Structure 1
Amino acid sequence: MPKPEAVVFDIGNVLIEWQPERHYDSVIGEARRKEMFAAVDLHAMNDRVDLGENFHDTVMACAEAYPEFAAEIRLWHDDWLRMASPAIPRSVALLRALRKAGVPVFALSNFGVETFALAEVEYPFLKEFDRRYISGHMRMAKPAPEIYAALEADSGIAPEALLFADDRADNIAAAKARGWQTHLFTGPEAWARALVEAGLLSETEAGL
């Protein structure tokens, strides 16, 4: 494998924890959360937001469609920043270490237009990428091959020269199918080691 020319970060569960079920458990209790998630496909609702549909309108329409869970569904909008938290400091440090080392860093993330605007304010490090490929703005999302192709075309970097970290196996498989170098993110420690093995950071730079 050639030495990567750029590193591509997913955001949710790589740089920021994204665990809606955990938040709901803390607010409405596990039993009620399980009942709601069994009746309402909230992740499919969120997928529509990630493809560019209006965040507020999509969540409120879903709440109206399921009146027995309306108050809880509205929390997806009202408590969104609490669901998308906290940041993963070690991953943020690796992002900054790569930039300091002169390695281009890109974001490739399924994120809504409005939710990403909220996240940028809460997490200023999201503005530190050299390039950002956000699904809501692009109207396409992982793991569809089109979004990977769009990043390749825009950056001008060959697929085999991209190193991509994502926590979802389907997103990783789609990138690998295009020839990208990949890392299935399970935690920042293993990601740090992968960056060292790729020749992008020294152990000291990676905090190892």
Structure 2
Amino acid sequence: MTGTTVLFDLFGVIARHQSPEGKDRLVRTAGVPAAAFWPAYWAQRPPYDRGDVGGADYWHRVADALGTRFDEHRVTRLVEADIDSWSGTDDAMVALVEQLAVRGGRIGLLSNIPEELAVHYEARHDWLGLFAVRAFSCRIGRAKPEPDAYRWCLEALREEHADRVLFVDDRPENVRAAEALGMRGHLFTGSEGLRARLAG
């Protein structure tokens, strides 16, 4: 796909979703039943991903939703456990990103990610430097599938023609939002499927 800019999602594409072990650790650290924990965790997540609140405030909001209280020590442990749960990466996809960069391909990143996790990734993964644009939701104040998140990327990439951008994400609603703005979309199910799409 000569001349195409590839805009990648991070989690579920290059990085892995939360591991079962990581999820179990979070629930144990919170000290509440999993059935109650996860609805509260996800319901409070959007402001955290957008950078409207920091880690401590996020976890206090989760505690409020659960009808409990997390002290400072528990909040610190929850932040650490949360970061650890999202730390796995897909070696095949990292290799693909590196290959695209070596070949002169233009690549960008659009990720819903809180600041603490963004800092963790930046400190550990040099391949992040290969992206022409790194649009972390916590720093741009917009999160997928909000249209402004994609518009921000188009502007940052200085791409006047949205159809020259292929957006890659594992969530159908995020792909549909990109396509609604004129981007091409690829619903990610694995590295081989994406390689085939890029070779087409």
TM, length-normalised to structure 1:
0.81
Indicate if the aligned counterparts of 1:59 and 1:76 stay in contact, CA closer than 8 A: no
Q: Residue 95 of structure 1 is aligned with which of 94, 97, 122?
A: 97
Q: Tell me which residue corresponds to 1:32.
A: 33
Q: Tell me which residue corresponds to 1:55.
A: 54
Q: Tell me which residue corresponds to 1:189.
A: 192
**CA–CA distance in 2 between the matches of 1:93 and 1:190?**
15
Indicate if the aligned counterparts of 2:5 and 2:106 stay in contact, CA closer than 8 A: yes
Bigger shift: 143-152 or 76-85? 76-85
The Cα of 1:28 is off from its aligned counterpart by 4.6
Superposed, 1:109-188 pairs within 5 Å as: 109-157=111-159, 158-188=161-191
2:8 maps to 1:9: yes
Indicate if the aligned counterparts of 1:20 and 1:84 stay in contact, CA closer than 8 A: yes
The Cα of 1:166 is off from its aligned counterpart by 0.5
**CA–CA distance in 2 between the matches of 1:63 and 1:154?**
33
Bigger shift: 131-140 or 121-130? 121-130
The Cα of 1:8 is off from its aligned counterpart by 0.6
Q: RMSD between aligned alpha carbons?
A: 2.4
**CA–CA distance in 1 between the matches of 2:20 and 2:70?**
16
Indicate if the aligned counterparts of 1:148 and 1:175 stay in contact, CA closer than 8 A: yes
What 5-or-longer segments of structure 1 have no aligned partner? 198-208
Q: CA, structure 1 residues 143+151, in 2 after alignment: closer, same or farther (shift >3 Å)? A: same
Aligned residue identity for 2:60: A
Identity of aligned residues (%): 24
Q: CA, structure 1 residues 184+69, in 2 after alignment: closer, same or farther (shift >3 Å)? A: farther
Q: Tell me which residue corresponds to 1:43.
A: 42
Total equivalences in the alignment? 192
Q: CA, structure 1 residues 22+183, in 2 after alignment: closer, same or farther (shift >3 Å)? A: farther
**CA–CA distance in 1 between the matches of 2:34 and 2:185?**
34
Indicate if the aligned counterparts of 1:109 and 1:134 stay in contact, CA closer than 8 A: yes
**CA–CA distance in 1 between the matches of 2:117 and 2:175?**
23
The Cα of 1:153 is off from its aligned counterpart by 2.0
**CA–CA distance in 2 between the matches of 1:28 and 1:151?**
35
The Cα of 1:21 is off from its aligned counterpart by 6.1
**CA–CA distance in 2 between the matches of 1:64 and 1:26?**
16
What 5-or-longer segments of structure 2 have no aligned partner? none
Structure 1: 4+ residue segments shifted above 6 A: none
Aligned residue identity for 2:177: A
Indicate if the aligned counterparts of 1:59 and 1:77 stay in contact, CA closer than 8 A: no
Q: Tell me which residue corresponds to 1:204.
A: none
